[in-house]
Amino acid sequence: MMTHILKSTITKTGMTVLLGKLREQASEGKKKKKKKKPKKKKLEQGDPPRTGLSKFYPDGIYPVGEIQHYKDDNTWRTTSEEKRYQEKIENEDPETTYQSIRKAAEVHRLVRQHARKHIRPGMTMTEIANNIEDGTRALVEESGLEAGVGFPTGLSRNNCAAHYTPNTGDTSVLQAGDVLKVDIGVHVKGRIADSAFTLTWDHTYDNLIEAVKAATDTGIREAGIDVRLGELGGLIQETMESYEVEIGGTVYPVKPIENLSGHSINPYRIHGGKSVLLVKNDDQTKMEEGDYFAIETFGSTGRGRIVESGEVSHYARVYDAPHVPLRLTSAKSLLKSINKNFGTLPWCRRYLERTGESKYLLALNHLVTQGIVQDYPPLCDQRGSMTAQFEHTILLRPTVKEVVTRGDDF
């Protein structure tokens, strides 16, 4: 009798548990399955790059450039608590913030990386310039004098070393045998990132390019607080002159172009007053803490000296031009447009036309003759020679040297 009751109890208990489980399963079946939230697509830059940089860096903090430590008597700066604090304060100051410089530099990297991959013989110079400048304007999120192109895109070829960009109507086409210098400027709040590289599709000129790149690297490596500009020029010269190029069975030494130079950069002013010549000289001026320099070098298979030659495309309002009464109404109007759109930043004729200016040449020439606007003709070595250029922008911070425009491409 006891055995029968026990079996009955177990059976009832088991049935109760089983029924409970079945009810739970039935209840779960009735519940709606939760829809999985779609994953947010990772924002990616297009090809060509045209998405504003702030979308990738919403906190306003942009990538730091390559860091190089100071040498010799300035090694102490890296660990100095006083200099670290000074740097922190400077970085937070909206007038001197590094973030404007770094944003401009990151735009430069993206634009030039695309340019290096896509520039090919057969393209017109205007097509190349427009592609670079459209990318710059989109990425930097162009806004009047707050952000935009830092200066006209340099596309100088062969014996022409600098200051050529196509004017409207220029139908020049890039050739397979050309040596092309690509000089790009980007600015944010007047802080200009200035960097250049050279492209060639003829291996004959590989040593020329290597010489100039190595000379630029030397200039960057040896630059620093208290370095004398004349001595730095000598180190650049020594590096460049250690190379030679064989062209058609003749060996040519690579010569630094003695009357071109790197330069300091001030807000809204591409040439800030200090120059780094590419040959040894007696300039005792020192680099100083806080200086912002474009270290650029030019090498040539020719004389190693440039002259002005060709149609002008580059212009800039003279920074400290005297007040001159203008007799031409058209010149007054043009100057007003220049002040509004470019301030003291360099520009070219194509940029004037983007602002709606037309039939402006008479007024422009009048501003030049009055000393209010400076024209910058193309700078060329002798015909038949080849020139190359490389350039990066460096910031002499209180603690370290930052090569702001350095990237994986060069």
Active site members: 183, 194, 263, 271, 296, 391
Give Cα separations from 410 to 195, 403, 406 (angstroms).
10, 12, 7
134 is in an annotated binding site: no
163 is in an annotated binding site: yes
DSSP reduced 3-state for 55: helix
Local structure of residue 160 (DSSP, 8 states): E
127 is in an annotated binding site: no
Tokens 């409207």 correspond to what residue?
168
Cα-Cα-Cα-Cα torsion 26, 32, 33, 38, nearest 10 degrees, comes to 180
391 is in an annotated binding site: yes
Using an 8 Å Cβ cutoff, are 406 and 373 in contact?
no
The b/e string for 272-287 (b: 16+ C-beta within 10 A; e otherwise) is bebbbbbbbbebeeeb
Structure tokens at 285: 């001026």
44 is in an annotated binding site: no
118 is in an annotated binding site: no
How many C-beta atoms surround the C-beta of residue 243 within 10 A?
19
353 is in an annotated binding site: no
Cα-Cα-Cα-Cα torsion 46, 52, 56, 60, nearest 10 degrees, comes to 160
In which region does residue 74 sit, left (phi positive, over 0), alpha (psi from -120 to 50) or beta (all else)?
A: alpha
Q: Where are the alpha helices (DSSP H) in 322-375?
A: 329-341, 349-354, 361-369
Estimate the crossing angle of helix 125-140 against helix 98-118, to 10 degrees.
Answer: 150
CA 190 to chain centre: 13
Annotated binding-site residues for substrate read 163, 271
Point out the annotated binding site. 163, 183, 194, 263, 271, 296, 391
